[in-house]
Amino acid sequence: MRESEGLIVPVEVEGQHNPRRREGALLCSCNQRVEGQGIAMSLTTPEKIRTLQRKLYIKAKQEPAFRFYALYDKVCREDILNHAWRLVRANGGSPGVDGVSFAAIENGGGEESFLRDLSRELQEKSYQAQPVRRVMIPKADGSKRPLGIPTIRDRVVQMAVKLVIEPIFEADFSPHSYGFRPKRSAHDAVDDIVKALWAGHTRVIDADLSKYFDTIPHDKLMAVVAQRIVDGKILNLIKQWLKAPVISEDGNGKRKTVGGGKNNRKGTPQGGVISPLLSNAYLHILDRIWQRYCLRDKMGAHLVRYADDCVPRRRTEGLSPSCSYAA
């Protein structure tokens, strides 16, 4: 199976978002160390945060129709912002449009001052998302794809929001979805495919949604998010990130706006910390249709999805040579 192109910047730490699956696990691995760029830090999720995540997950699992309304205060918590910083710092990556690097933050006022100011902005509701820096990344076929790099400041807030809302959506996500999910990996998806092949599902179709991240409709995405989240302040943050202007820079250093903005109605930048979760939430519509209409039983098919890559597989017996099917 072809793996989804996924994120390139910031670089994900191996195992942070897609380690080997462990039954009953919720989020990040508990005992990781990241070494690089002269630092070594523990990515252990603090127990207080894990307790919150477990409570949110259990509540969402037990009440599929429950809509969460008091989450913003959790995002502003010192421990969550500190852990979000550590995760973003470990991922590394380039500065955003403001040019502020990790080194500049650490050698300037320091991370404590940086997080204190960020927390104050969030609590005072004066936080505003900054524009996203666009770079073009070469692909294997010689073409290029756009990558959006938020500022470090915005990446930290996105990570804080992700820490709080991801358990809620994880309670809903389907078992055949593997991309950009905690405790799941591309290896798990391949294992699923191999098992299905042994079970007789030998007709394989590899379907990739073209330019998926760039074409997600904002109104429908926000409607999906609002099925679970009704905290207006959280929804406002997500809208800010979706509407952030996208800035490109030519070889002469001249900047111009190439996308985004208030009138933009589609797309979530690849490179944003929150983008994979939002994309999975929107694609969960496909998973729900698959389950609601019992397509596995009706069509004798088995679906494996890794983000925007879908691999439906169907049993061979009784099918004519021309019979095919895609999802």
pLDDT at 310: 60
* Cβ-count burial 27-50 (b if 16+ within 10 Å, e if not): bbbeebebeeeeeeeebebeeebb
- Return the structure tokens found at 211: 């330019």
246-249 and 132-138 as β-strands: parallel, antiparallel, unpaired?
A: parallel
- Per the CB < 8 A criterion, the answer to whether 273 and 159 are in contact is yes
Closest CA to 237 of 85, 122, 96: 122
pLDDT tens digits, residue range 145-187? 889 999 999 999 999 999 999 999 999 998 888 888 888 888 8
- Per the CB < 8 A criterion, the answer to whether 66 and 172 are in contact is no
- Per the CB < 8 A criterion, the answer to whether 160 and 275 are in contact is no
**String of DSSP letters for 59-96:** HHHH-TT--B---HHHHT-HHHHHHHHHHHHHH-----
Rounded to an integer, what distance in angstroms lies between the CA atom of residue 76 and that of residue 158? 12
Residues 6+ apart with CB under 8 A from 184: 18, 21, 177, 178
Q: Per-residue confidence at 311, pLDDT binned at 50, 70, 90?
A: low
132-138 and 207-208 as β-strands: parallel, antiparallel, unpaired?
A: unpaired
pLDDT tens digits, residue range 207-246? 777 778 888 999 999 999 999 999 999 999 999 999 999 9
- Per the CB < 8 A criterion, the answer to whether 278 and 284 are in contact is no
pLDDT at 50: 97
Instruction: Give the distance from CA 282 to its chain's centroid.
Output: 11
- Per the CB < 8 A criterion, the answer to whether 17 and 206 are in contact is no
Residue 321's SS3 state is: coil
pLDDT tens digits, residue range 245-277? 999 988 777 899 998 999 999 988 888 999 999
Q: Per-residue confidence at 293, pLDDT binned at 50, 70, 90?
A: low
Residue type at 203 in one-letter notation: R
